Amino acid sequence: MGDRDAEFGEYVDSRLTLMRRTAFLLGGGDWHAAEDLVQTALTKLYTAWPRLRQDGAVDAYVRKVLVRTVIDESRRPWRKRERSVDEPPDVSVPAVRVDDVLDVRRALRRLPAGQRAVVVLRYWDDLSITETARVLGRSEGTVKSQAAKGLAALRDLLAAGRTLVEEER
């Protein structure tokens, strides 16, 4: 059991930051929800660890668990209410305009869960269409159409400039 735990710990140490970032974007920009998503994914990953490490499909499994958990949570009626925070998250922001980053995150949050999952996996995690389809359990055609619709929706939402920032207040 010690080797299993050590291997699992090494994997988690090497991938935790990526899992958190992916969960943050999939979860609509909520760090607390992202932490919950990562914990759910790690719990499921640990139980499936012996099988997955032999198959070499660990990353794909984690992404699938994250996406499915986000979609399941988005369907719960009590999750559909708006959430606000008193303070911005305590994370560093890359050297880009903060307003642009916030606008993109807010726009991403407005996408339906399925489109958001495709956009995050395709353009954030840089997965191919085939890999994204496999993770989501959808056809490649569905991934392509959801990506196109998601990007079009993002363009429309961001075309108004700073109006997204003002609408959220």
- For residue range 11-32, list pLDDT tens digits in order: 999 999 988 998 888 877 878 8
Per-residue model confidence (pLDDT) at position 169:
46
Per-residue model confidence (pLDDT) at position 78:
56
- For residue range 113-166, list pLDDT tens digits in order: 899 999 989 988 888 899 899 888 999 999 999 999 999 998 888 886 654 445
**In Å, what is the CA distance from 20 to each residue of 37, 49, 132, 144?**
8, 19, 18, 25
Per-residue model confidence (pLDDT) at position 116:
92
Per-residue model confidence (pLDDT) at position 149:
93
- Residue 30: φ, ψ to 5°: -115, 110
Domain ranges of the chain: 2-168
Per-residue model confidence (pLDDT) at position 67:
87
DSSP code string of 12-53: HHHHHHHHHHHHHHHTTS-HHHHHHHHHHHHHHHHHHHHHHH
- Looking at CATH, the fold of the domain delimited by 2-168 is given as Butyryl-CoA Dehydrogenase, subunit A; domain 3 (1.20.140)
- For residue range 74-124, list pLDDT tens digits in order: 776 655 555 566 776 666 655 566 777 778 888 888 899 899 999 989 988
| pLDDT > 90: percent of the chain | 17
Per-residue model confidence (pLDDT) at position 165:
46
Per-residue model confidence (pLDDT) at position 89:
63
Q: How many angstroms separate the first and last alpha carbons of the chain?
A: 51
pTM above 0.85, yes or no: no
Report d(CA 7, CA 4) in Å as an integer.
Answer: 5
